[in-house]
Structure 1
Amino acid sequence: MKKLFAEFFGTFWLVFGGCGSAIFASQIAPSDSGQIGILLIGVSLAFGLTVLTMAYAVGHISGGHFNPAVTLGLLAGGKHSVKEVIPYIVAQCIGAIGAAGALYIINGGTGGNDYGAFATNFYDHAVYFGKSYSMNAAFLTEFLLTMFFLIIIMGATDKLANGKFAGIAIGLGLTLIHLISIPITNTSVNPARSLSQAIFVGGPAIYQLWLFWVAPISGAVVGGIIYKFLLQTNLKEA
């Protein structure tokens, strides 16, 4: 139960801090390109910092997944138990929905009607930037970034790596991921985070939700397999 509570609180913090920064900062930032650039950097850092802080706060309890795709990717990479997969994912989704509910209340009981207004994920729609990206572009983006996120996680937490800095590497990795993909999909790489925001926005956010489960999970599984079979060094080889 301590592991599940750790995943619940860690995912709650990720959604509340990361999505909260996107929701409230966008309400005060003017629409000129300079301020949008500042918003992009700020939100990216917020997501990275939530993972970094919780990795050190509760990572030693549950492993600090806070993301169904990470849990399944670590399973594929041989770093997680099958019997814990469903409980972890349930705890993550409940934590994410709880955080989105708190944001919904703080936001005056509204999720907004525009894409991105409640930090939802999307494709074929532009929010802060002038260009919209297709479903295929969105899928490939989420797939590749989650794949590399798993490689970062598995490499940073490897027995041969310096574990003291794992949280920093993972947090900065997530920051970089957001810098790349906020203009494309508003960045998911986390199905629980996408689910939680879509519930309170509804409409297209719900029917596009499939992509933000399938693409991150597929990418994470491939990333876990790549690290396990192509990159991981056992102690005898070292």
Structure 2
Amino acid sequence: MSLSKRLMVEGAGTAWLVFAGCGSLVLNGAAPAPGYGVLEVALAFGLALATATYALERSSGAHFNPVVTVGFAVANRFPIRDLVPYIAAQIVGAVAGAALLAYVASGRPGFDLAASEFGANGFGDHSPSDYQLHSALAIEVVMSFALVTMYLLMSRKGVSRAVAPMVKGACLALIYLVALPVTNGAVNPARSTGPALFVGDWALDQLWLFWAAPMAGGIAAGVLFAFVWGKRGTSRDRDNAVEIQGEAA
């Protein structure tokens, strides 16, 4: 499969993740608050990731997240030359998913995109439970580190392809159970960018955190994985890239 086709797959998978996950926040008419809605939204994101990974992993590696792509590149498990195209495709997919969600949500009488906050990530006054910057920073770094580490471990040689997508989905659902009250659940700059572009204003002002913090966590995970496992952990992503591009690992 050519790079262009893999980019289309990455974009489509990211669009599905944003539409299904953020849709569980937006389309029920209520943002999650402590004790209400958190489990349902976390499961929606986790199941969206698991289903997309089952369907598309063999085609593109099924990252659907710039942090995962960067983490794999840092761990030397993904070709550097494909890094920027993959991230661009994920952002385009996230925007497309958010655009479809905005179109569907606008069909509800009285729907106000800005008032709903449209599943955008935030801190301070825009945190679902009013958590401040330092809390949002910590949760995004730690949870992104955990997510990328799980991806890397599941990509090692010998891990069952039948099990890995569900493990990744379960990991994302657990992360969102913790992160939703703090930041509305991010750990994915593309997922954060899509809704923020439609909300504008405060969402764009705070978007920097949802790029910087997850990237820091993802890079740390990649460095640690390369240090501990090195070349012993062969990635399906790297294998896939080798098969597609006809190069030696």
Answer whether TM exceeds 0.5 for this pair. yes
- Cα-to-partner distance string for 1:97-144 (whole Å, 9 max, x where unaligned): 011111111121866334x6300000102565xx41111111111011
- Residue 179 of structure 2: aligned partner: 181
1:111–1:118 Cα contact (<8 Å) kept: no
**5+ long unaligned stretches in structure 2:** 234-249
- Cα-to-partner distance string for 1:12-43 (whole Å, 9 max, x where unaligned): 10000000111112x168x9x7xx63511110
Change in CA separation of 1:206 and 1:28 when aligned onto 2, cut-off 3 Å = closer
Question: How far apart, in 2, do the equivalents of 1:164 and 1:9 lie?
Answer: 21
Change in CA separation of 1:231 and 1:137 when aligned onto 2, cut-off 3 Å = farther
- Residue 63 of structure 1: aligned partner: 61
Q: How many residues align?
A: 227
- Residue 54 of structure 1: aligned partner: 52
2:127–2:183 Cα contact (<8 Å) kept: no
Q: Root-mean-square deviation (CA), in Å?
A: 2.0
1:104–1:111 Cα contact (<8 Å) kept: no
Larger displacement relative to structure 2 (75-84 or 101-110): 101-110
The partner residue of 1:149 within 144, 147, 150 is 147
> C-alpha displacement at 1:156, in angstroms?
1.1
- Residue 124 of structure 1: aligned partner: 124
Q: What TM-score, normalized to structure 2?
A: 0.85
The partner residue of 1:44 within 27, 42, 45 is 42
> C-alpha displacement at 1:233, in angstroms?
7.5
**5+ long unaligned stretches in structure 1:** none
Question: How far apart, in 1, do the equivalents of 2:183 and 2:127 lie?
Answer: 9
- Residue 7 of structure 1: aligned partner: 10
- Cα-to-partner distance string for 1:40-59 (whole Å, 9 max, x where unaligned): 11100000011101111111
Provide the secondary structure at the position in 2 that maps to 1:159: coil
Q: How does 1:73-92 map to 2 (within 5 A)?
A: 73-92=71-90
- Does residue 22 of structure 1 match 2:20? no
Question: How far apart, in 2, do the equivalents of 1:101 and 1:180 lie?
Answer: 27
2:102–2:113 Cα contact (<8 Å) kept: no
Instruction: Letter of the 1:112 partner, please give it.
Output: L
2:74–2:219 Cα contact (<8 Å) kept: yes
> C-alpha displacement at 1:229, in angstroms?
1.1
Question: How far apart, in 2, do the equivalents of 1:55 and 1:184 lie?
Answer: 26
> C-alpha displacement at 1:234, in angstroms?
2.0
> C-alpha displacement at 1:61, in angstroms?
0.7
Question: How far apart, in 2, do the equivalents of 1:28 and 1:222 lie?
Answer: 35
Which stretches of structure 1, 4 residues or longer, exceed 6 Å deviation after superposition?
none
> C-alpha displacement at 1:192, in angstroms?
0.6
1:147–1:219 Cα contact (<8 Å) kept: yes
Percent identical pairs in the alignment equals 35
- Cα-to-partner distance string for 1:191-235 (whole Å, 9 max, x where unaligned): 011111001001110010000001111110111111221256727
2:10–2:62 Cα contact (<8 Å) kept: yes
Change in CA separation of 1:62 and 1:135 when aligned onto 2, cut-off 3 Å = same
Q: How does 1:97-176 map to 2 (within 5 A)?
A: 97-108=95-106, 112-114=113-115, 117-125=117-125, 128=128, 131-176=129-174
Provide the secondary structure at the position in 2 that maps to 1:164: coil
